[in-house]
Amino acid sequence: MQQHLNMQCIAGALLGALLSLSQPASAQQRNIDVHVGQVAGKLDKTFNEVIGAGRANEGLRADWQRQLADIKRDAGFRYIRMHGLLSDDMGVYKIDAQGREHYNFQYIDALYDYLLSIGVKPFVELGFMPSAMASGEKTIFWWRGNVTPPRDYAKWGELVKKLTEHWTGRYGEAEVATWYFEVWNEPNLDGFWAGTQADYFRLYDHAARAIKSVSPAYRVGGPATAGAAWIPEMIAHATANKVPLDFVSTHTYGVNQGFLDEFGTTGTVLSKDENAVVGDVLKNRREIAASALPALPLHYTEWSSSYTPSDPTHDSYHQAAYILQKLKQTGSAAQSMSYWVFTDIFEEAGPRFEAFHGGFGLMNTQGIKKPGYFAYQFLNQLGTQELRNGDAKSIATVDGNGDVGVLLWDYTYTLPEGINNQQYFIKDLPPQAKGEVQVTLRGVKPGAYTLAISQAGYRRNDAFTAWIGMGSPAQLTRRQVDELKAQATGAPSERRTVRVGADGKVSLALPLRENDVYLLKLSSAPGKPAR
């Protein structure tokens, strides 16, 4: 009943906005004016090339798999990257009492068979070190991923070769040639790599040569660093030593301090710099262009608003607009932008005790979709061809059927001075009004259309604010889970029939608040094709 009333309120507000077309334009009015015949080119789909996940062993859980299937359906992600593929909980390597080596890929098989069954390919991260192969005992995270170099680099290379051969036999060379192989994770941070940069390059060399020995067609890269680091050094090392390097990869987060804090104890502060995230991407792109390998693909295999899974920016309604803003700014400067991560089934700091805790995920542990989820769901509903558009905070598209999509948002930085994310984003934060946005579509064929309007923002597909309204319960009842899921589906809040006349023009005005997101879809009405 509550959901029904909420939907009525949303529809009523939108209907009022649509009926206000004859009113004088607000001083704050924003205009989006596009012509469906003016195609800028194919819509760049780097936004859903790759998505992140915590660690491989979590991918054996039934709830993790259900959530991945949901986001694959809604957002269309094509690859997934995760830590811990070679860690002890995946059981890949041991040495018996007689000193004989044993390889075991059964857990990896179960995981990868599932991924491929739903149309998701591995973006393979090779790490961490099996303890039986490691030179030391230093580990990271609750699940104790070993971060020390191998005792014997040749044995490391042999493990990588055996695994690559196994995949080739199981899935075929043509399939594995579509994957990416990335060596390690954030070796420039002491927490993730107990060796030096030179040690990492040696680790990379053995892995890359092992992979290429199975098939020259396989793609391998690195250094998967934190903070956009080591890209010039990586390229210089590969070229000087004739080591295979098919792409470079690194990470960035939109906060002002540090890189590794799985407990969120230092207090993160969302960067006010409007070039946060994109500034790193463009820096790396310039470094590549100035290198001996200027055409190398660049993959950001982790990015988000914050580097800690204890940051409520990840849960907040602000996140949907933040994601869209950063992806729009980045454009095609990177070949993928892998959001870290798709689910709060993520145990770097151990199992979490709260339903919403600032986790990295686009869904929480129970599969409740956070506002950020809908940034990707809405992007995936756009058409195939992008239209020319002078507005910096929107994307307009058309598809082969002539259906038009407009995804628009407001991104406003609202964090007050002197307060951190953990103190601010846990609150109910009503947005300020930003006037209205006038959307005009031109060149539409005359006829009958259905206009569907979907929203994300404050109390619009906003399970986190609804959870705060419940009193922020750490544990949820089944009824509460169902209620929160029902408030965050991404379904259109309004559908209406629009008749386009001989002028080919569709125009509507929408009320805009801080960090609102709208998806408008204009499609031929069933049984009433445009003529």
Task: Cite the active site residues.
Answer: 186
How far apart CA 228 and CA 107 sit, in angstroms, is 32
> Can you read off the two tokens belonging to residue 34?
């596009």
In 10 A of CB 386, how many CB atoms? 19
SS3 222: strand
C-alpha closest to that of 472 among 304, 265, 270, 312? 312
How far apart CA 351 and CA 61 sit, in angstroms, is 14
How far apart CA 36 and CA 388 sit, in angstroms, is 9
Angle in degrees, CA 6, 8, 12, rounded to 5: 120
Contact between 371 and 468 (Cβ < 8 Å): no
Spatial strand order of the sheet with 494-500 comes to 39-42, 385-387, 394-398, 404-409, 517-524, 447-456, 494-500
Contact between 290 and 329 (Cβ < 8 Å): no
Q: What are phi and psi for residue 419, nearest 5 degrees?
A: -135, 145
Distances (CA, A) of 70 to 62, 75, 360: 12, 8, 17
H-type helices in 220-273, by residue range?
231-241
User: Tokens 């060399």 sit at which residue?
Assistant: 205
**Most distant CA pair in the chain: distance in Å?**
85
Distances (CA, A) of 218 to 21, 79, 119, 128, 230: 56, 15, 19, 21, 23
Alpha-carbon dihedral 508, 514, 515, 520, rounded to 10 degrees: -10
C-alpha closest to that of 246 among 204, 186, 203, 187? 204
* Secondary structure E strands in 96-253: 101-103, 121-126, 139-140, 145-146, 180-183, 219-225, 247-253
Q: What is the bridge-based pairing of β-strands 385-387 and 394-398?
A: antiparallel
Distances (CA, A) of 56 to 48, 85, 146, 186, 475: 20, 5, 14, 17, 26
> Can you read off the two tokens belonging to residue 379?
């992007």
The 3-class SS string of 345-395 reads CCCCCCCCCCCCCCCCCCECCCCCECHHHHHHHHHHCCCCEEECCCCCCEE
Q: How many residues are given for the chain? A: 531
